[in-house]
Structure 1
Amino acid sequence: MGEGKIKIKINKNLMSAIVIFDIDGVIRDVTNSYRRALADTVEHFTNNHYRPSMEDIDSLKAEGIWNNDWLGSQELIYRYFEQMGKSRDEINLNYEEIVDFFQRRYRGQNLEQPTSWDGYISSEPLLVSREYFEILDKNNLYWGFFSGATNGSAQYILQRRLGLENPVLVAMDDAPSKPDPTGLFLAVNLLEEKLSLDNSLPVIYLGDTVADIITVMKAKEIKPEREWIAVGVLPPHVSNDNEKGDKYRQQLIDSGASFVVNQITDFYDF
């Protein structure tokens, strides 16, 4: 089954689960922020000869190992020059310069002061409201976040933009990059400790990339005694295009997603 709404049934009619959300492409639309910064960065470091399209970025992320957009930028730069006949040793990229350029596009020139951020992050559309999480609370769904975004970027969107108070968050700074499931385990453990939850509750992870889905598959392999459910979410740049959306949906299903929904608010039937 490719799309629909998940219903977790425990003890007849009682529904309860831990729900962990990715952030980029799920909580916020990063089409014109992270993805734009990635394209800007690749274009800059290829001397304005190559700017990756959305399809190029999707193809990279479909490989399942490029959750970190700084590393993704570097990889696309390398691949461009390799097509020009150069080896990676000849290219002489400086990763710190790549990160700095990317961050100044994404955050703005004042990198460490969120109140002064005027880069692409300042205009990211939200894909959900604070009230949505209040509804989850009322339905015995215990939620948190595991994201490849930096802690500063994630907190900016969750606390400053959404108004959530001290949500459970595992970000880039806290755990290895996906598809390593360490961060997912950590987010679940933090929720269990914070709310004194039973450690046998099903875990649902919602993400928009192949790496997100593979993360759940790896969690199943490591901890098979627990129920792990991967829910794919179509990112905004494909959700309104039937052909692109169908292709993207199939990639997530092929990677192991139990369901793929068009947007985060579709995943649960209240």
Structure 2
Amino acid sequence: AIEDGMTMPDLIRRLRSGSQAPINLTFNNIRTMESLAGRLSSQLMADSTSILNVLNDTSVAASYGFNEQTFGAMFIPNTYEVYWDTSIESLINRMKKEYDAFWNTDRRAQAEKIGLTPLEVTTLASIVEEEATYADEYPIVAGLYINRLNRGMRLEADPTVKFAVGDASLRRILFKHLEVESPYNTYKVDRLPPGPIRIPSTSAINATLSPAQHNYIFMCAKDDLSGRHNFAVTHAEHARNARAYQRALNERGIY
């Protein structure tokens, strides 16, 4: 790394010696492996194509105990000190160590308490983060989904439908979207999808591990389109909230 105030002789000595200062590698708000590869390549020497090839290599995922659907769960968003020329293989090995450190005894005990494995927690947290625009709703949404799981209800989570149809920008979920056949469409499948629908933040994971205690099993976006939700215990109450929201979408020409 070239530092402010470094003279040409200093630079030459550094290049000759091969020494380098570590950099802070940061990644967060990642939806896809393509996005992760792009984020990493913007901070490391390796290019995005070579990084993505490794990330998409199922044998690499399998060597760490994951598969194509679950590999993203191993990458815990944070800031890590690495060297600019760190290889993607070395970085992935580092990420596995960070994953194991994150999933310590306490977090594993919390996961067991709510009846989920660490991977299932990560998967649910990814849905929570996609559903809730505001972090203060994470524990409420997590608690709602866990209530549904405990009652044997399908999650019926709209973010999983968006993932299934491949369009995260959908502003209105239509009946045709709900009918898409996909292991990620939680209107069609029981329990959780086969893996996370994004790389969830640590705040979403921690909120899922410590869900709010309540009786809500329904939620609907508020009709002010603020990104916040109305939560409900009964279907009748939820139906009223849903009608208000649909009316708001109609008034704004969102079809």
Instruction: Work out whether the TM-score is over 0.5.
Output: no
TM-score normalised by L of structure 1: 0.28
Q: Using CA pairs under 8 Å that are at least 6 residues apart, name the structure with larger relative contact order, 1 or 2.
A: 1
